[in-house]
Amino acid sequence: MSNNEVVVYFDGGKYRNRTCIYDKNADKYLVKQIPSASTNNELEYHALIRALKYAIRQYPDAESFEFIGDSKLIIKQVWGGWRINLDTLIELNEEVNRHLDRYSHKVQKGTWISRDSNIAGIHLDTLKKKGM
């Protein structure tokens, strides 16, 4: 991984309505509660939005960004052209796309991975098991 390539994992979970992003470059976790989110898919979108904002702010000179998550729905709705049927997800998807459009001159990619490989999701599971 070069200095100009930023990799951020993201996940959202209903336990305490939290999102987690993991900055692979800095080996850093950021967890935040999102009380307004009512579904897991909304939390996944909020996690991706946080990941986008964070990555651009922390690495303004990066040439490429990869956002990795275990929600195939979110990855495919944002990067794969899947249709969106719920108004709340349409609004969140539009917010994601506004951020992506702002930085369209940079390489941006969304990658789906399995739940057991998502570092951000594993961290949320660890917090849950510890009752935190």
CATH code at position 12 = 3.30.420.10
pLDDT tens-digit profile of 110-123?
A: 999 999 999 999 99
Report pLDDT for 1.
43
Band the pLDDT of 4: cuts 50, 70, 90.
Answer: confident
Half-sphere exposure of 17 (CA within 13 A, CB side): 9
Domain range enclosing 14: 5-129
DSSP strand E in 37-128: where?
64-69, 107-112
pTM above 0.75, yes or no: yes
d(CA 107, CA 72): 20
pLDDT tens-digit profile of 69-101?
A: 999 999 999 999 999 999 999 999 999 999 999
CA 22 to chain centre: 9
Name residue 16's amino acid: R
Give the chain's domain count: 1
